[in-house]
Amino acid sequence: MNPYREVEEYVSSLAGVPVRGEIPPEGKGDYAFPLGFRLARVLRRSPAEISREIAERIEHPLVERAVPEGGYVNIFFDREEFVKRLWEEAVSPGFGRGEEGRRYVIDYSSPNIAKPMHVGHLRSTIVGESLKRILTYLGNEVVGLNYLGDIGTQFGALIVAYRRWVDEKALEEDPIKELLRIYVKFHEEVEKDPSLEEEARRELEKLEAGDPENVSLWERFKELSLKGFERIYRRLGVSFDVVTGESEFVEGARRISQELLEKGIAKVWEEGEKKGAIVADLEKEGLNHPVLLKSDGTTIYLSRDLASLLWRVKEFEPDALLYVVAIEQSLHFRQLFTIARKLGINKELVHVSFGMVHVEGMRLSTRRGQVIFLEDILDTAVERVAAEMKGRGTYSPEDAEKIGVSSVVFWMLKTELNKDVRFRWEDVTSFTGESGPYVQYAYVRARNILEKKSGPFELLPPDDAEWRLIKLIARFPIVLRESARRYSPHVLARYLLDLATRFHNFYDHNRVLGDPREGFRLWLVTAVKNVLETGQELLAMRPPSRM
């Protein structure tokens, strides 16, 4: 068992209640329990008294000393015993794996067809992929699902634009760019000729009604777009178990809207612009009356999402459904989940929401055509990394690609989900800051040592520098669980930064090969490498071999 967990369980059993260990400030021991505070109310005695008393009773092979301080009990581990617990595990593949055994459906990426994927989708893609990997590693069954926006008002506009302005040759060469060009042109032309809007609406209705010509155009858009998206997915190493799209849920959306009406969860709107529409009645929940079905029978993002949710529940029988989508859609998801609850869905439903992404201070809008193509983002990172590597004399195209793409991935993940991500290239691709390359460089340093010599290992009581690293290594399994519990890869990303920092530090001040402690340090370096490697994989980064 993980030594932290083992001590936590022991102390909890001694206290008679579950108590969580904390990492105390430097010098105050290795692990701390707020026992006095936890028990003061029940025992009606002062926290200091309680912790003094429990500290005295603590007797465990992993505990060298237990020191009461105020309401806390600070634990100093028996270092050698601690290392024994990790000896095999920490250097084996699968360190930190779990057997959680839940089933998840994760909706991520989910871009809109015939538009370029924007940076928000990139964040969703990366966060979702990483969550999928972490949850899978912990022993859950995970279905990764790409829910394409393959229906919506843009298709009316696109069909109109296509018939008037498309350049077939350009479309073949770079479909996403050409589709964007005519889409932007449409919005420019609408300013001059508002009737285009009406025309687009008619084309959309024809499409929804199954008009063969419009359907085949739409299929073409879809196929071309997917091809474009796949280029990005391939570079990122992202894959999905299921690719579906909103268009598959149009029928379902109509049906469920009727059903909600019959059940009294929805009603027909009586006045004004929405007259005749079926709306959900979420007044009591403070979530308004969102439209489900327009009076002309057109379905809505919300009703299609609802039909899709019901399908996911039935098809995969998950314990939890996650939606990795920008925070702008939080009202949508509150409405969606509230309706689902009213229909008796009692699964865990989570909007894993995230903030905006700024690339060098720009806000982007597809309508105006100010788009950053995601491939340009990846290319920029790779070029910068390549230049740095050439300066160091370590350049290879394969490693530059891995490190460059991983730098973008890491930058997205190290930011807390609710905060905005800011891309400043000097920072993103820096080999020394809080960046992906910095983490990967620690990994490469460990690898380089082990390439020269990888054993045999010798168990010794750790010195102070080694001990600081060992304690961090032992936290890996705990960090993974914390990351999963919070649905936030950021917890793992921050941890890898800490580990990389401590390892760089260790490396700068200690010898491994040729040192009397070589046999022990080789074990330590192997464990660091193992954790950094697994950590990178779980963050959807790709470990380089040289840099």
Binding mask 89-108 for ligand ARG (x = CB under 6 A): ------------------x-
Q: Is 413 in the site for ligand ARG (CB under 6 A)?
A: no
Tokens representing 362? 């720009």
Q: Name 332's Cβ contacts closer than 8 Å, sequence gap at least 6.
A: 301, 302, 305
Contacts of 409 (CB under 8 A, 6+ apart): 126, 130, 236, 436, 539, 540, 541
- Residue 111 carries which DSSP code? P
The one among 72, 77, 95, 147 contacting ligand ARG by CB under 6 A:
147
Residues present in the chain in total? 547
Identity of the residue, 155 or 323, whose beta carbon is nearer to ligand ARG in the bound complex: 323
Least distance in Å: CB of 237 to ligand ARG?
Answer: 21
Q: Shortest approach of ligand ARG to residue 219 CB, angstroms? A: 18
Least distance in angstroms from the C-beta of 111 to ligand ARG:
6
What's the rounded Cα separation, in Å, for the pair 229 and 272? Answer: 41
Minimum Å gap between C-beta 115 and ligand ARG is 8
Which residues from 316-375 bind ligand ARG, rule CB under 6 A?
323, 325
Kindly identify the residues of this chain, within the stretch 171-210, that bind ligand ARG according to CB under 6 A.
none
> Residue 45 and residue 42: Cα distance in Å, rounded?
8
Nearer to ligand ARG, 164 or 368 (CB): 368
- Token digits of residue 284: 């009591």
Min dist CB 290 to ligand ARG, Å, is 13
From candidates 71, 149, 175, 462, binder to ligand ARG by CB under 6 A: 149
Name the residue number minimizing CB distance to ligand ARG: 149
- 78 or 107, CB closer to ligand ARG? 107
Nearer to ligand ARG, 83 or 287 (CB): 287
Distances from the Cα of 158 to the Cα of 110, 187, 282, 345, 498, angstroms:
19, 10, 34, 37, 49
The answer to whether residue 154 forms part of the interface with ligand ARG (CB under 6 A) is: no
Q: What is the largest CA-CA distance in the chain?
A: 85
DSSP track, 361-382 = TB--BTTTTB---HHHHHHHHH
Q: Least distance (Å) from ligand ARG to the CB of residue 154?
A: 11
Output 110 or 247, the one with its CB closest to ligand ARG. Answer: 110
As a whole number of angstroms, the distance between CA 540 and CA 519 comes to 32
The Cα–Cα gap between 211 and 382 comes to 45
Contact (Cβ atoms closer than 8 angstroms) between residue 275 and residue 178: no
Of residues 74, 110, 140, 247, which one binds ligand ARG by CB under 6 A? 110
Identity of the residue, 7 or 302, whose beta carbon is nearer to ligand ARG in the bound complex: 302
Instruction: Specify the residue, 366 or 394, whose C-beta has the smaller distance to ligand ARG.
Output: 366
Q: At 84, which amino acid appears?
A: K
Would residue 102 be called left, alpha or beta, if left means φ above 0 and alpha means ψ between -120 and 50 degrees? Answer: beta
CB of 347 to ligand ARG, least distance (A): 15
Number of residues located near ligand ARG, criterion CB under 6 A? 9
Told to check if 495 binds ligand ARG by CB under 6 A, we report no
Q: Which of 2, 51, 74, 112 binds ligand ARG (CB under 6 A)?
A: 112
Q: Which is nearer to ligand ARG, 78 or 305 (CB)?
A: 305
Residue type, 464: D
**Cα–Cα dist 238/130, whole Å:** 9
CB of 373 to ligand ARG, least distance (A): 16
Q: Which is nearer to ligand ARG, 85 or 312 (CB)?
A: 312
Q: How far is the CB of 267 from ligand ARG (least distance, A)?
A: 24
State the Cα–Cα distance between residues 318 and 158, nearest whole angstrom: 37
Residue 406, interface with ligand ARG (CB under 6 A)?
Answer: no
CB of 32 to ligand ARG, least distance (A): 42
Q: Decide: helix, strand or coil at residue 459.
A: coil
Window of 50-58, 110-118, 411-419, 514-522 that interacts with ligand ARG by CB under 6 A: 110-118
- For 315, phi then psi, to 5°, come to -70, -40
CA distance to 240, 249, 364, 378, 393, per residue, from 176 (Å): 21, 25, 16, 17, 37
Report the distance separating Cα 215 and Cα 208, nearest Å: 8
Query: Shortest distance, CB of residue 242 to ligand ARG, whole angstroms?
Result: 12
Task: Read off φ and ψ for residue 104, nearest 5 degrees.
Answer: -120, 145
- Closest contact distance (angstroms) between CB of 291 and ligand ARG is 16
Comparing CB distances to ligand ARG, the nearer of 120 and 543 is: 120
Given a contact cutoff of 8 angstroms between Cβ atoms, the answer to whether 97 and 312 are in contact is no
Q: Which residue shows structure tokens 């601690």?
A: 82
Nearest approach in angstroms of CB 233 to ligand ARG is: 16
150 near ligand ARG, judged by CB under 6 A: no
> Between residues 304 and 529, which has the closer beta carbon with respect to ligand ARG?
304
Per residue, the 3-state secondary structure of 405-453, as one string, reads HHHHHHHHHCCCCCCCEEECHHHHCCCCCCCHHHHHHHHHHHHHHHHHC
Nearer to ligand ARG (CB atom), residue 301 or residue 395: 301
CB closer to ligand ARG out of 112 and 338? 112
The minimum distance between CB 124 and ligand ARG, in angstroms, equals 8
Distance (Å, rounded) from C-alpha 217 to C-alpha 203?
Answer: 11
Q: For ligand ARG, which residue of 178, 203, 281, 305 counts as binding (CB under 6 A)?
A: 305
Neighbour count for residue 227 (Cβ, 10 Å): 11
- Complex with ligand ARG: residue 110 or 440, whichever CB lies closer: 110
Which stretches of the chain bind ligand ARG, using CB under 6 A?
A: 107, 110-112, 147, 149, 305, 323, 325
